Structure 1
Amino acid sequence: MTTFLTPQQRADRTAAAVEAAVATGRGLGLPVAEPTVLHDLFSVVVHLAPLPVVVRIPTVLPRPDDMAAIARRQQDELDVTRWLADRGIPVIAPSPLVPREPVQRDGFSMTFWPFVEEARDKEPDYVANAESTADLHAALRAYPGRRLEFLSAADPGFIADSLAGLGQHPDLIGAAELDRARREWQILEPLVRSRSAFENRFPGVDLQPIHGDCPPANIFRAVDGDLYADFELVTLGPVEWDLAALGPEHEAAYNRGARRNGTRPLDEEVLAFVNALGALRFIATLALVPQLPELMGYLKPAVDRWQATPFAADMSS
């Protein structure tokens, strides 16, 4: 049976992340007095009060020991958000109080951001956010992003490893469902692994820098206005990836935004591809449940939806 992190182990991990953040902040010359945890799920987010500085420390990761890979991804996020901010795009940019680079300490890799007051009385409008995503894509088209890899946000290595290993965890996914996921992955994997294979399958569909992690759900409701946020999975890919699994209403809203700013609408065939790929990424994420047991509650609705859909069409033809 699967061994899950206990509540005490989870609390110890959070405490260690906070301790590392405080020590790092003080090492950078920040007079930290009252560290406050703002968020604790895939990352521990700590406000280094009284300063307007927030530290984000990823703690639930597919490959937590690959510190170099974590830092590369974090540096990409720091670079793209600074670039967007310099061009007047409303985005949470890196903190100006510390160097703009990841810092590693005690087995954690962390980045520093400004503290932004949240408008807690404002409900998110995900449809409006989907329309706004077209504006973000229009801005990102000019980002040089030479280091960005094709669809790295999908993390095909993680999907492959997870689908291989989940056979040892029948309490996380049934044998029939896992078999289906593995067969779908055989169809989709070549198009994720190879940019040229994708371009051959979807000719004329341009690739560009994209947010990588569902931007309609990652627009921060700040007191002074909405801000694009959480570019941890920034990648090179089709714009459709940022709308994966959101459904027709959000797709229509995105297309309204695209028409308004003169960029292309969503391609239906590419949407079918990213929706199938996004579903498999949800399945693969089951492998992280032992690190974060409450994650099952977030994943189960997505897994149930996937089980109710037809088998992924043959994308290779």
Structure 2
Amino acid sequence: MTTFLTPQELADRTSAAVDAAVAAGRELGLAVTDPTVLHDVFSVVVHLAPSPVVARIPTVTPHSEELIALARRQQDELDVTRWLAGRGVPVIAPSPLVPPEPVQRDGFSMTLWPFVPQDRDKEPDYVANAESVADLHVAMRAYPGRLKFLSAAEPQFISESLARLDRHHILIGAAELDRARREWQILEPLVRSRTAFEARFPGAGLQPIHGDSPPANIFSGVDGDLYADFELVTLGPVEWDLAGLGPEHESAYNRGARRNGTRPLDEEVLGFVNAVGMLRVVATLTLAPQLPELTEYLEPALDQWQTMPFAGGMTS
């Protein structure tokens, strides 16, 4: 049986996240009298007004993710964005008013960022954004910190979700779930093992990458665009950052790569990352009880998945 949170339970979760952020901000010496929720989907994002600080509090997370693991990923994001900012890359970096580390409070783990006014009149240009991601990859290449291989794929989440979906018949049909499991048998070894991936794709190369569709995560600030939301920053092939975006965005990225002298996207690797990305979509269905609107939001991607080559055209 699948039980979805009620509107009141969703509102209570948001309220609890805001209360935790306010308390954490005050403990860190911030003046917080007028907290304002800016965004509330997978995370509650709240401006701790009048302080120029924004708290991002993940609220919709995999069932098995513990606060320690979440905080470790959050620290990677803080470290990478602070390093990029130090090299002059236009990025939303951690707030300078608090220590650059995750804060845990009342069962939540949050990160703190500067409040950046948004240019609400600017329409996102995702094609132009995709071209600029080639420049971001150049900037990230020299990052000296240690990042896990393809952690953004969240292989444990996929494996656990494909097992859990047997109990959520209203979320996915039996034939679709069977396809997902058979695809994962082929793709999982390449996601979990850097050695296996490099043997299968010897020319791809690995480097620090954004991890979460950077063309869709460029913030239009009043003073210019800023790379944002590095929550899934990881070590992987550059193709991962273009997964699921299609030929127009891939061509735009390749224009950027030619301009800065780096390699274009590899078609075989694109097939692999697109297939893994779709299995992450299937896995995300298990989060729908925490966020009921997800089922409608994911439906177009699931329909597209049915038209794609099995396992990205790869064989076992």
TM-score band, normalised by shorter chain: over 0.9
User: 1: distance between equivalents of 2:65 and 2:140?
Assistant: 31
- Map Cα deviations across residues 247-292 of structure 1 (whole Å, 9 max, x no partner): 0000000000001111111001000000111011101100000000
Rounded Cα–Cα distance in structure 2 between residues aligned with 1:129 and 1:268: 20
SS in 1 for 2:113: strand
Match of 2:241 in 1: 242
**8 A Cα contact 1:201 1:316, kept in partner:** no
Partner of 1:173: 172
Distance across 2 between alignment mates of 1:126 and 1:63:
32
Distance 1:94 1:102 in 2: 10
Unaligned runs of 5+ in 2: none
Match of 1:200 in 2: 199
2:224 corresponds in structure 1 to: 225
Q: Per-residue deviation at 1:64?
A: 6.2
Tell me the CA shift for residue 315 of structure 1.
Answer: 2.8
Contact 1:135–1:261 (Cα < 8 Å) also in 2: yes
Tell me which residue corresponds to 2:25: 25
Instruction: Decide whether the 8 Å contact of 1:153 with 1:213 is kept in 2.
Output: yes
Deviation digits for residues 171-228 of structure 1 (CA, Å, limit 9, x no counterpart): 0000010000000000100000100000000012110000000000000011110000
Alpha-carbon shift at residue 316 of structure 1 (Å) = 5.1
* Counterpart-to-counterpart distance in 1, 2:42 and 2:192: 25
Aligned to 2:16: 16
Alignment length, in residue pairs? Answer: 316
8 Å Cα contact 2:274/2:312 also seen in 1:
no
**Conserved 8 A contact 1:188-1:316:** no
What is the aligned partner in structure 2 of residue 5 from structure 1?
5
Structure 1: gaps (5+ residues): none
In structure 2, the partner of 1:260 is 259
Q: Using the TM superposition, give the Cα deviation of residue 65 of structure 1 relative to its aligned residue in structure 2, in angstroms.
A: 5.4
Cα separation, 2, equivalents of 1:282 and 1:134: 25
Q: Distance in 1 between matches of 2:214 and 2:201?
A: 23
Quick one: distance in 1 between partners of 2:210 and 2:123?
22
Q: Does structure 1 conserve the Cα–Cα contact (< 8 Å) formed by 2:92 and 2:113? A: yes
SS in 2 for 1:232: coil
How far apart in 2 are the matches of 1:308 and 1:247? 14
AA partner of residue 4 (structure 2): F
Quote the residue 2:131 is aligned against. Answer: 131
AA partner of residue 106 (structure 1): D
Identity %: 79
Pairing 1:61–2:35 present: no
Matches of 2:144 and 2:59, distance apart in 1: 29
State the distance in 2 between where 1:31 and 1:277 align: 44
RMSD (Å) for aligned C-alpha atoms: 1.0
Distance 1:310 1:20 in 2: 45
Report how far residue 313 of structure 1 moved.
4.9
Distance 1:97 1:141 in 2: 28
Closer/same/farther in 2, CA of residues 92 and 210 from structure 1, 3 Å limit: same
Shift of 1:308: 2.1
Q: Distance in 1 between matches of 2:26 and 2:238?
A: 40
Query: Residue 103 of structure 2 contacts residue 109 of structure 2 at CA under 8 Å; is this kept in 1?
Result: yes
Give the structure 2 partner of residue 274 of structure 1. Answer: 273
CA distance 1:280–1:111, shift in 2 (3 Å): same
Residues 1:235 and 1:65: Cα distance change in structure 2 (over 3 Å)? closer
Q: Which whole-Å CA distance do the structure 2 matches of 1:80 and 1:265 have between them? A: 24
Change (3 A) 1:219 1:313: closer
User: Paired residue for 2:307?
Assistant: 308
Q: Does the aligned pair in 1 maintain the 2:36–2:48 contact within 8 Å?
A: yes
- Structure 2 residue 172 is matched with structure 1 residue 151: no
1:18-97 map, 5 Å:
18-63=18-63, 66-97=66-97
CA separation in 2, counterparts of 1:279 and 1:99? 37
| In 2: Cα distance, 1:4 partner to 1:231 partner | 29
Whichever residue aligns with residue 3 of structure 1, its letter is T
**1:312 Cα shift?**
2.1
Q: 1: distance between equivalents of 2:259 and 2:235?
A: 23
Q: Tell me the alpha carbon deviations over residues 49-68 of structure 1, each in whole angstroms, 9 at most, x when there is no partner.
A: 11110000000000465010
After TM superposition, the runs of 4+ consecutive aligned structure 1 residues lying more than 3 A away are none
The answer (yes or no) to whether the contact 2:162–2:283 under 8 Å persists in 1 is yes
CA distance in 1, matches of 2:238, 2:63: 26
Letter paired with 1:207: L
How much has 1:314 moved relative to structure 2?
5.6
**C-alpha deviation, 1:298, in angstroms:** 1.5
Question: Deviation at 1:307?
Answer: 1.4
Match of 1:175, as an amino acid? A
Q: Distance in 2 between matches of 1:30 and 1:260?
A: 44
